[in-house]
A and B are shown apart, each in its own frame.
Chain A
Amino acid sequence: MRLPILLLAVGCTLLSGCMSSPGGPEYQWDPTVVRDYLPVLVGGLQLTLFLTVTSLAGGLAFGLVVAMVRVGKVWVLNPIAIAYIEFVRATPLLIQLVWIYYSLPIILNIQIPSLWAAVIGLTLNLGAFAAEAFRSGLRAIPRDQIDAADVLGLRYLQRMQYVVVPQAFRIIFPVLISLSVTAFKDTALVSTLGIADLMYQGQTVASQTYRPLEILSAVALIYFVIAFPFTTLSRRLEVHMARHLRTG
């Protein structure tokens, strides 16, 4: 708990140190540009948050379905699910985004806005990682629990709904949070599709003002301020669950 705050304090001290005594003769640290362009950055942040929320909702839901296909070894769909997961996990997200943006219009002969290409790309990417997380959670449920639900007369989807998924969800909750934080930061890659998210606005302002250090540091700080509470929450939950949640 103390360590990140300490790191943050050290970082701030370094930054302010740079401000008061310029490191080199050419670069004068100028925090006022951040203040002047903050509204632009906040505008970008809104888009970043929109992308995060939509890809999280889509990716987690899709990931759960894919995981159920994998665990249930559903005919024909299972090998497709494996191929999808492995392909997504083993290739760079940047290329996946570019590929969807440029190839979907060719394959389907429809022009989709870059924003929707980004949402689809991020959703498919998160979906693959979430599927593997869900799968590990689903496999962690003791066999007897599922058999007992079966004997009780619950059908497959009911067993999933009432017995398996709630327990699996608890087990993998910390993993899901850290996946979500990663998904949040990964949205920065959509700036390459010309989407005016936080990263894109940061780069634009940085090159317009010739102040990349100030602007990009501020952008990083914004990402940090949003992500940090969640990484902390994830760590605390892990400790809490190890202590309190006994199953079986």
Chain B
Amino acid sequence: MSSEPHDLDPFAGAAPGADVELLNVTKQFGRHTVLKDVSLTFRSGVTVAVIGPSGSGKSTLCRIVAGLEPFQKGTVRLDGHDFLRGGLRGRAAHGPDYRRRRLSVGMVFQSSTLFPQMTVLDNIILGPQKVLKLSRSTAIERAVAILGRVGLGEKLRSFPAHLSGGQQQRAAIARELAMDRRLILFDEVTSALDPELVHDVLAVMQELAHGGLTMLVVTHEMTFARTVSDEVVFMDNGSVVESGPPAELFARPKMMRTRSFLDRVLT
């Protein structure tokens, strides 16, 4: 996506190599602390895999960056500007800047979130038409191209219920791509799929990673984390325990907790 020239870039004019930064993010549900002082910084164009046992706060992290979840402390910054701030509402600022930054962040969920009463094509063009205000014909043109890229060129007129789980997730990815996102969050997008469908979805994600899309991928797929991502973050119990390039983290984990987790999932 980012390699193609287009006039919809929500951050046209922003400094190249801009960052995604989470600074000391703390989130509590009642008395329970889900995220403790989480900090995470990465460059544009990289794929970050977040791994860790269930309940470690990975999904909450995704939802926070997507702007779906208020949090108590910390800041999320995009391209050097405050995007979300800990506090009552979680927004850094109201107005066009907040909205623009919010629109630059996409998310694919674990469950299928295609709208079941619309065809695949209508799902893809809804945002471009109603939010980005593209003309219907332009939106369709782009949607057809994107659906071809994720291997769903034949399924334009199908309803989500008639797609396999893997096809539904690829269509959900296409819906985010059609919105020209700066960053796409993937929250365990293959966890609910039958094993034989996982591969096609991961292949699409791998292609996007190589294409230079910025991705934050919460996953249980260790092979994906090891071979596709540029950086792996291991979380446990609401904290970032360790992070680094996959070759290092998988081969020589520094922390005891990382080692015992990897021992458990890699055997």
Contacts and interface: CB of A to CB of B under 8 A. Distances in A.
Interface of A: 142, 144-145, 147-154, 158, 162-163, 166-167, 170, 245-248
18 contacts: A144-B109, A144-B111, A144-B113, A145-B113, A145-B115, A147-B66, A147-B113, A151-B107, A152-B179, A153-B131, A153-B132, A153-B179, A154-B127, A154-B130, A166-B117, A246-B116, A247-B116, A248-B111
A154 B126 CA distance: 9
Contacts of B110: 144
Given A162-B115, A167-B116, A147 B109 contact: yes
Contact of B126 (A152, A167, A246, A248): A152
B24 interface: no
A142 B102 CA distance: 22
A148 B68 CA distance: 9
A145 B107 CA distance: 12
B130 A151 contact: no
Given A151-B66, A151-B105, 18 more contacts: A145-B113, A147-B107, A147-B113, A148-B109, A148-B113, A149-B115, A152-B126, A152-B127, A152-B131, A152-B175, A153-B99, A153-B131, A153-B179, A154-B130, A167-B115, A167-B116, A167-B117, A247-B116
Given A151-B66, A153-B127, A142 B111 contact: yes
A109 to B, nearest CB: 45
A152 B131 CA distance: 8
Contacts of B115: 145, 149, 162-163, 166-167
Nearest to A161: B130
A162 B107 contact: no
A154 B131 contact: yes
A166 to B, nearest CB: 5
A162 B126 contact: yes
Contact of A147 (B68, B117, B130, B179): B68
B68 A150 contact: yes
B246 interface: no
A43 to B, nearest CB: 42
A169 to B, nearest CB: 9
A179 B200 CA distance: 46
A132 to B, nearest CB: 23
A158 B111 contact: no
A248 to B, nearest CB: 6
Nearest to B103: A153
Contacts of A152: 126-127, 131, 175, 179
Interface in B167-212: 172, 175, 179
B160 to A, nearest CB: 9
B109 A162 contact: no
Nearest to A246: B161
A163 B109 CA distance: 16
